[in-house]
Amino acid sequence: MAPALQSLLDLLDLEQIEENIFRGRSHPSVVPRVFGGQVAAQSLVAAGRTVPVDRPAHSLHAYFLRPGDPGAPIVYTVDRIRDGRSFTTRRVVAVQHGQPIFHLSASFQVHEEGLDHQAPMPASPDPESLPTADETLERYADVLLPGVPGRLAEARRAIDLRYVDAPPFAFLGEAREPRSQVWFRTNGKLADDPLLHVCLATYVSDMTLLDSVLLAHGRGGWAVGDVVGASLDHAMWFHRPFRADEWLLYDQESPSASGGRGLGQARIYTQDGRLAITVIQEGVIRVPRTPTG
């Protein structure tokens, strides 16, 4: 197992300090705030720790309220909203410096048989044929802000993430179809705990979802400094079992951007074509004003 992946797993192994209270820490971030996918994943860990193991997560809905401080611990308080015969509902509030920074509602369900259909998996090349994240960053290092390639590479060493085409910063000034695909998996095998795989997919889901918004406008993102962005809200539905240590296709598109916000929606498929997850996220995306005078 890659040391970076073990470090990420340690990050998700929250300290329980009371029956419904957990404490987490952060890794140094590539931006001066806690990575949103980390807070979402840790919140889901906290919720899942209070739910019977025979009830896997089937959905989450979350709001990012304030930027997190990477240098301070995060306290997660779990509210046991409902324990029904089939469904369990939890609410989690993440707090730093006495203020909530993140709010999550998650639902868990016992396994049931029922109707089954899905949207077909889109065409995509074999992930093994695509450049690695390090190779992609090296290729486009000249367009990124100083220091960004190294920090991005360090942040993504736990996850093998490969763009099907290229990241938004490869198409500066070139408006394209608002669609992006990446393949991802962890850089090492994981235990069989379903909650762990769901939480790692949640972590990764915040990395690239708004790329399609940027592509539609020929913007490269925060890594080149032509937009300022942050996640606002995030929703996921977990349809079928999957493993985060096996290749997953993240097929992303943006149906709208307006009012300083951009919307991304996506489907995550297993390599054999099963629809595993649906994701929707809205984020702040602002174009910095050019100084005048």
Catalytic positions, please? Answer: 206, 231, 281
CB atoms within 10 A of CB 37: 21
How far is it, in rounded angstroms, from Cα 242 to Cα 270? Answer: 7
Q: What is the DSSP letter of 145?
A: P
Q: Report yes or no: 148 and 30 within 8 Å, Cβ to Cβ.
A: yes
Q: Going by C-beta distance under 8 Å and a sequence separation of 6 or more, which residues neighbour residue 140?
A: 166, 167, 169, 170
Q: Report yes or no: 108 and 69 within 8 Å, Cβ to Cβ.
A: no
Taking the mean position of all CA atoms in its chain, how far away is CA 203? Answer: 4
Q: What is the DSSP letter of 64?
A: E
- DSSP assignment of 11-54 equals HHSPEEEETTEEEE--PPPSSSS--HHHHHHHHHHHHHTTS-TT
